[in-house]
Amino acid sequence: LIKRPLLGRHVLVTSGPTHEPIDPVRYIANRSSGKQGHAIARAAAGLGARVTLVTGPVALPDPQGVDVVHVETAQEMFRAVERNLPADVAVFAAAVADWRTAAEAQQKLKKSGDKPSLDLVENPDILGNVGKLRSGRPLLVIGFAAETANVAGEAARKRKSKGADWIVANDVSAPTGTFGGDSNTVRLVTADSAEDWPPLSKDEVALRLMQRAAEHLGRGAAAA
Ligand code: C5P
Assembly ipTM: 0.97
> 3-state DSSP call for residue 170?
strand
Is the pLDDT assigned to residue 66 strictly greater than 60?
Answer: yes
126 is known to lie in a ligand binding site = yes
Provide the CA 204 distance to its chain's centre, in angstroms: 17
Would strands 20-23 and 26-28 be described as parallel, antiparallel, or unpaired? antiparallel
pLDDT digits (tens, 9 = 90+) for 174-184: 677 777 778 88
Classify residue 150 as exposed, middle or buried by CB count within 10 Å of its CB (0-12, 13-18, 19+).
exposed
pLDDT digits (tens, 9 = 90+) for 151-174: 999 999 999 999 999 999 998 886
Whether 126 lines ligand 1, by a CB cut-off of 6 Å, is yes
Is the pLDDT assigned to residue 221 strictly greater than 90?
Answer: no
At residue 223 the predicted structure's pLDDT band, cuts being 50, 70 and 90, is very low
pLDDT digits (tens, 9 = 90+) for 24-63: 999 999 989 999 999 999 999 999 999 999 999 999 999 9
pLDDT of residue 172: 82
Is the pLDDT assigned to residue 224 strictly greater than 50?
Answer: no
Amino acid, single-letter form, for residue 193 = S
pLDDT of residue 122: 98
158 is known to lie in a ligand binding site = yes
Alpha-carbon distances, residue 50 vs 1, 30, 54, 67, 220 (angstroms): 15, 29, 13, 8, 19
CB–CB of 135/111 below 8 Å?
Answer: no
Whether 27 lines ligand 1, by a CB cut-off of 6 Å, is no
> Counting atoms of ligand 1 from 1, which one is nearest the CA of 74?
21
Among 38, 77, 91, 125, the mutation site with the greatest number of ligand 1 atoms within 8 A of its Cβ is 125
Whether 125 lines ligand 1, by a CB cut-off of 6 Å, is yes
pTM metric for this prediction: 0.94
User: Active-site residue numbers?
Assistant: 30
162 is known to lie in a ligand binding site = yes
Poorest-pLDDT segment among 9-13, 100-104, 112-116, 187-191: 112-116
Is the pLDDT assigned to residue 137 strictly greater than 70?
Answer: yes
What gap in Å lies between CA 185 and CA 201, rounded to an integer?
Answer: 9
Whether 54 lines ligand 1, by a CB cut-off of 6 Å, is no
